[in-house]
Structure 1
Amino acid sequence: MTSTISPIRTGAHRMRPPGGSWLDDLWAGWTATPGLRRRTELVVVGLITLIGVLVRFIRLGHPPRIVFDEVYYVLEGWTISNLGYEAEWPENGQELFEAGQVDAYGTAGKYVVHPPLGKYLIGWGMQLFGAEHAFAWRISVAIIGALAVPLLYLVGRKLFRSIGMAAIAAGFLALDGHAIVTSRISILDGPLMFFVLLGFLFILYDREQQTRQIAEWAADWRVRAHAKDPSIPLEAKPSRWSLTVRRPRTRAPGPDWGPILWFRPWLVAAAVTLALATSIKWSGLYFLAAFCLLTIGFDAAARKQAGITYWLSAAVLKQGWASFLLTIPAAILVYLATFIGWFRSSEGYYADWAQSDPSRPWGGLLEGVPLSFQNFWHYQSEILQFHSTLGADHPYASAPIEWPFLIRPTAFKYDYYGPNQEYVEAVTSISNPLMFWLGTIAVVFLVMMLFVKPRWQYAAILTGYAAGYLPWLITGRTAVYHFYAIAWLPFMFLAAAVAIETIAGSAKDDRRMRTPAVNIATGFLVLTVLVSILFYPVWTGLMIPEWYWSLTHWLPSWR
């Protein structure tokens, strides 16, 4: 048996302490061969996904009545899946629906302020399982929420090339209360998060493809150029940091601009997916814009690494317009397609707006625009006006500046029972505090790391976080709630995985340093699981004593 420990000399002959920890030894045994590694990864992903499924589906039909904003989306989902548009219900429509009179709606269109896709998804679940059952109201959202767990694993795997880091992020999403509640109650924000995350995964696939395409193009260019001028090196040398607008004083030994890349199927897929997110809630548009800008950054970095002289100008001015043509028209078509039921109806809200008044149709150069599109444009402008001016006083309203600190989570339901009201059934969309606060700290850490040791992964994570959070911070709306944070919660958990990996160190570290660091990280992960177990009853509406409920109020504002 030969030792792998290398000798070092510091005046006397000594042995270098071995690297790693007990966890590294265990992991090495589980991944000793490619086959074992694949098997271990499947077990890890399968176990995390199973946990995510169980906590979302067990007692999904409880509470057996409409909760919180389900009063909008369940009833609208049922009518849109039957009529193609959201229809009005009687004033006591919620009570009728809960009593099983699910066909008590009328035919007049209802004014709604969110696009139709999320409500279609909810309605299709009821079409499959019967609208009379609370389980059916929530099944679609629960499936989407459960699928988000392995999806985040795939994102983490593509970002970090690490099973462990991907598993931490996915495990956090599987066991986090915010993600669990928005998967068990039929509101739109869970499906929005899923499509945003799926679009982000496609952006990562596109980055890999475009980097390879640019590198191959630059290599071919150098071979051809070297044949004509042997002074041009065959090896690529990264271009210098500059604005790349002015021509350098001396001719750079590389291509000027690089190619226009038209074969970008993953970019088109991302545009389609993010358009689907926008077709659930308009906030998906922020992610579409941010991720399109991110691809320009990826393109510039790939051109710089390939030695292209005007790498930034080429990414913005040459590839930028091509990427625009590949994404925005497709996104618009997908968004319009989700309204096909409304276009085909004559009863949808504003479906006959232009026809009902001779003074309304457009004139001049726009006179030939179809009336159906004029109706649609008017409806969208009214929705924009609604969102731009919305303000309301609600006991669970939470200013966006509070969101990163988990100041005021949203209580979807709480009811007291017992002769002295000593028992509580609560459904509160509060994150696991340890996971969430670590995520906030980790986001700040990544911002600092961009200036210390920049990596493209940090920029990608922060782009997703910023696209979900910053627009709310600058809008000034008062009718906003903490549960909106679910859209960017996965990016917080990706940042948290980076933070935990930084604390734990590397398997190459001195064992005397690595083992305590791994113990600290492992202890924290175990503690987060215990906290999730503590909070699980207030995420799922289990009846608990009032004193137990008080244990989950770590801050006074959580009550």
Structure 2
Amino acid sequence: MLKYQISRSKLQQQSIPWFPIGIWLIFLASLGLRFWGLGRFNVLVFDEVYYAKFANEFLQGKYVFYSHPPLGHYFVALGIWLAKHFAIGNDIVNNLTGSNISTFSYRWMNALFGSFIPLLVIGIAYQLTKRRSFALIAGFLMAADGLFLVESRYALNNMYMLVFGFLGHFVVLLALNRQSWQRWLWLLLAGISFGASIGTKWNGLYFLIGIYLLWAIACLTHLFIQKSPNSSTSEDISNSASFSTPLPRLSQLSLPDLSFFLGVVPAVVYTLLWIPYLNLEHQPHFFSNFAQEQEQILDYHNSIKDGPKVHPYCSKWFTWPLMLRPIAYFYATARNTTETVPITPPLPAGVGKVIYDVHAMGNPFLYVLSCAAVIVLVVYLGKNLIQWVKGDPNTGVIYNASTWVLVYILLNYAVNLLPWVRVTRCTFLYHYMPSSVFAFLALAWVIDGWLHSWKTHLRGTGITLIFLVLFGLIYWMPIYLGLPLSNTEYSVRMVRIDTRQLPTWVKEFFPNWI
């Protein structure tokens, strides 16, 4: 009996490892949602008509012009090749790509990459603050977004750009916590990651620009501190709040170091990634062909116009934070849930009793709340900066570690969003995905602060927001995964913020399907 009590006492004294348990739960949930029914809909969904076809043609050694750098196509092609050689997921097959391959084969690699996005967000949040609660909340919010879930389940290329872009940020933060050769090794890996992000889509460059701007701010702050009568070190600043952040240590990187690791290395990686693709042309003079490809891509995007005549789901940048224009990726009807979808030819209007719909849309609660959180952080940071300017310049906001976290979130949010202001071509909601992650970090920051508050109503509000986001994920899950819905179940989920019905949009895009 005494032995039992001692053992029980020891068990009670041992803390439960909630942090790794939480990470595993988020990852497994992300993995399961992305792979569950991945082969569903034996067609090419949305831009799979490009990426899946391009990947299959690359495997066949055919040269086809791509409108983006080729890394995303390499990964889709690798998924097809592995699925063929290991006979994975061959139950649903079509020849829409030019070969008899399974839907699973050209989708599973994207699903795998997408499953790691929440983990990267957890890593970034933790490296920023060393606060486990903030990191887990950020990872949960990331896993609860519908747009990332939808984009992960089809053969598209946004996931690869995002994974490598956020991996670059994560590795830079790791490098700032290292010294000597270890720091250079991590920075080298960061440069490779940024090069891979840009090698998927050009807007992956914004991830790198965000780091450069943070470095400039850190250097200016360090210069100001050195000239102040009561100077402090960057280490003092990073540890001046209830937590620490490595961001001020960016000033320890010299311009030559930054230029090499986060300039030369990404450029070299980006260039090397073109070699397999350009070798398909079997022409000499690699660099002239390389330059020609860049010019063709630029000309292609400049030639795209804007407006509903170009594409019914074009949307302006200022509509993205509130998700005013989601994108219909798939829509079909059936008489019952036992019929194979899509039905060919499509059923006449009014015959189908079951609706299968996939919309590339975020979690509505998450989008509205994260947009509000960004505004709150802007107001809070602006207020603190004004107080610092008016007060003693040797004390205040620039010495606060929380200020650096807010600057990181808001700066990267703006860097990934504002360049789209001047873009005149047709753009889509998925272009907001990089910025949305920083908006989720903003919301996680607010919720985490409330959960640690001594005020009961703030803690209750934080918990309520978490459950509201979870409810949004569950409620709109059929729209993300393409699960069967009745007409009533579909209609109540697709009411827009301005009370108009999304089925009207679907009719624009699929006029022969309804």
What does residue 15 of structure 1 align with?
none
Superposed displacement of residue 542, structure 1: 0.9
8 Å Cα contact 1:464-1:491 kept in structure 2: yes
- Helix, strand or coil at the partner of 2:485: strand
Alignment pair present for 1:463 and 2:411? yes
- Single out whichever of 489-498 and 266-275 deviates more from structure 2: 266-275
What does residue 429 of structure 1 align with?
360
Q: Sort the Cα spacing of 1:165 and 1:318 in 2 relative to 1 into closer, same or farther, 3 A.
A: closer
- Single out whichever of 322-331 and 172-181 deviates more from structure 2: 322-331
Q: Sort the Cα spacing of 1:160 and 1:262 in 2 relative to 1 into closer, same or farther, 3 A.
A: closer
1:391 maps to amino acid: K
Alignment pair present for 1:544 and 2:458? no
What does residue 331 of structure 1 align with?
266
CA distance in 1, matches of 2:250, 2:134: 31
User: Per-residue displacement from partner, 1:131-188 (whole Å, max 9, x unpaired)?
Assistant: 7211111111000000111121111111232222211111111121111001101111
CA distance in 2, matches of 1:310, 1:332: 36
Q: Could you state the TM-score of these two structures normalised by the residue count of structure 2?
A: 0.77
Superposed displacement of residue 346, structure 1: 3.0
Superposed displacement of residue 293, structure 1: 2.4
Give aligned-pair identity as a percent: 25
8 Å Cα contact 1:407-1:558 kept in structure 2: no
Superposed displacement of residue 324, structure 1: 1.1
8 Å Cα contact 1:461-1:494 kept in structure 2: yes
1:416 maps to amino acid: T
What does residue 131 of structure 2 align with?
162
CA distance in 2, matches of 1:75, 1:437: 36
CA distance in 2, matches of 1:553, 1:382: 39
8 Å Cα contact 1:304-1:311 kept in structure 2: no
- Helix, strand or coil at the partner of 1:345: helix
What does residue 345 of structure 1 align with?
280
2:439 to 489, 492, 495: 492
8 Å Cα contact 1:291-1:463 kept in structure 2: no
1:443 to 364, 374, 379: 374
1:127 maps to amino acid: W
8 Å Cα contact 1:207-1:295 kept in structure 2: no
Q: Sort the Cα spacing of 1:81 and 1:149 in 2 relative to 1 into closer, same or farther, 3 A.
A: farther
Superposed displacement of residue 503, structure 1: 3.4
Aligned residue-pair number: 426
1:411 to 325, 328, 331: 328
- Helix, strand or coil at the partner of 2:105: helix
- Helix, strand or coil at the partner of 1:424: strand
Alignment pair present for 1:57 and 2:35? yes
Superposed displacement of residue 505, structure 1: 4.3
1:36 maps to amino acid: S
Superposed displacement of residue 374, structure 1: 1.2
2:210 to 274, 290, 297: 290
8 Å Cα contact 2:359-2:480 kept in structure 1: yes
8 Å Cα contact 1:300-1:315 kept in structure 2: no
1:372 to 268, 286, 289: 286
Alignment of structure 1 residues 59-98 onto 2, 5 Å = 59-83=37-61, 87=62
Superposed displacement of residue 304, structure 1: 5.3
Superposed displacement of residue 412, structure 1: 0.6
2:298 maps to amino acid: L
1:80 maps to amino acid: F
What does residue 430 of structure 2 align with?
483
Q: Sort the Cα spacing of 1:315 and 1:338 in 2 relative to 1 into closer, same or farther, 3 A.
A: closer
Unaligned runs of 5+ in 2: 1-8, 85-99, 235-248, 336-349, 385-396, 398-402, 504-514
Q: Sort the Cα spacing of 1:59 and 1:194 in 2 relative to 1 into closer, same or farther, 3 A.
A: same
1:199 maps to amino acid: G
What does residue 366 of structure 1 align with?
none
CA distance in 1, matches of 2:408, 2:144: 24
User: Per-residue displacement from partner, 1:242-292 (whole Å, max 9, x unpaired)?
Assistant: xxxxxxxxxxxxxxxxxxx99633333222111100000010112222222
Alignment pair present for 1:202 and 2:171? yes
What does residue 503 of structure 1 align with?
450
Q: Could you state the TM-score of these two structures normalised by the residue count of structure 1?
A: 0.71
Superposed displacement of residue 315, structure 1: 8.6
1:55 maps to amino acid: L
What does residue 148 of structure 1 align with?
117
CA distance in 2, matches of 1:422, 1:272: 51
- Helix, strand or coil at the partner of 1:135: coil
Superposed displacement of residue 306, structure 1: 6.9
Superposed displacement of residue 502, structure 1: 3.4
What does residue 274 of structure 1 align with?
194
- Helix, strand or coil at the partner of 1:397: coil
CA distance in 1, matches of 2:381, 2:301: 34
CA distance in 2, matches of 1:266, 1:463: 23
CA distance in 1, matches of 2:327, 2:101: 27
CA distance in 1, matches of 2:351, 2:20: 50
8 Å Cα contact 2:23-2:119 kept in structure 1: yes
8 Å Cα contact 1:117-1:338 kept in structure 2: yes
- Single out whichever of 114-123 and 284-293 deviates more from structure 2: 284-293
8 Å Cα contact 1:294-1:460 kept in structure 2: yes
- Helix, strand or coil at the partner of 1:404: coil
Alignment pair present for 1:473 and 2:418? no
1:264 to 184, 187, 190: 184
1:294 maps to amino acid: L
8 Å Cα contact 1:49-1:150 kept in structure 2: yes
What does residue 401 of structure 1 align with?
318
8 Å Cα contact 1:406-1:433 kept in structure 2: yes
- Single out whichever of 444-453 and 404-413 deviates more from structure 2: 444-453
